[in-house]
Amino acid sequence: MAIKKGLPSWLTVTLFLLLAALMAFAMILEMSDARKKIAAVQTPPPPQAVARHKQPVTRAAPVIVRPKPAKPPAKPVTTAVPMPDAGISLILDDVGYDVPALRRILRLHVPVAISVIPDAPYARQSAIIAHRADQMVMLHLPMQPESEKYAHNMSSAFLHADMDQAELRSTFISDLALVPYVQGVNNHMGSALTQMEQPMRWVMQVCMEQGLFFVDSKTSASSVAGRIASEMGLERANRRFFLDHDLDPNALKIAWEKARVCARKGHRCIIIGHPHPETVAFLEQHLSADDRAMIVPLKGLLHPASAQSRLEHMANLQP
């Protein structure tokens, strides 16, 4: 019987070594996997991974905290500043003929009431210029004088004794229409008409309806205009001095000094001047700092309106 020969020894050794190498390689792979699993257990997963595995959490709607609105700043408490009831108030009469003289007066930069004659050639222009300069505009209402010389030359703008109430009212309203921005009235001439009660009541009735004050120019010592205005409850005042009744320089100084003394005594000192060259030059040259401090708007020297007097007057009107 024949005996089979075994594998060569070198091949056996080679196979043995190859098998050992494979087994060693397999063990290394198993150890590497084990280390990775241990590391995975010990290292926390990244936030994204955790989020994927956690149950969804229901969150409350975010609370939006809005800043409280800031409180508006408190309004300053304003108290009405009382108008002065003492001082010098200057009225410039007969305006409407000399615009350059008016502009010079306005450049003094003191309060002055500009009283415009309605049918003067530059009446409307003068009123507009004065208003734009923030000065008060008045109607210098023409009224019948005592002088026969002037009475014969009255224009259609004059109020006169022969008028009935309707005629007087119509003329007055027409005069007002010629002068814009009018706040009050004083009489031009009028030494005859201002002594007559009934025409003066008609005049004050129109002033009341139009919301106008009245200043009695006192061209007659016997004028009843101021008293009637008071009885009917209007804002009113009386002229105290004429600045330029006499245009002599010394006479102008004396008249102005009277106004100064009057104001220092705490009185209402209304002084009327005119746009004469002498008057304008005097004011340009002689207004001191003290004078300027004493000159106040005419509105501040008016006697206030009386509601009670108005009611009594309206009750006495014929239906």
Q: Quick one: pLDDT at residue 304? A: 95
Give the 3-state secondary structure of residue 300: helix
Give me the mean pLDDT over the 131-155 stretch.
96
Tokens of 60: 């409350």
What CA–CA distance (Å, rounded) separates 98 from 107?
15
Which superfamily does CATH assign the domain made up of 87-316 to?
A: Glycoside hydrolase/deacetylase (3.20.20.370)
Is residue 309 pLDDT above 90, yes or no? no
Give me the mean pLDDT over the 113-119 stretch.
98
pTM, two decimal places: 0.73
What are the residue ranges spanned by the domains of the chain?
87-316
pLDDT in tens, 162-175: 999 999 999 999 99
Q: At what angle do helices 99-106 and 277-286 cross, to 10 degrees?
A: 10
pLDDT band at 79 (very low <50, low <70, confident <90, very high): very low
The amino acid occupying position 82 is: P
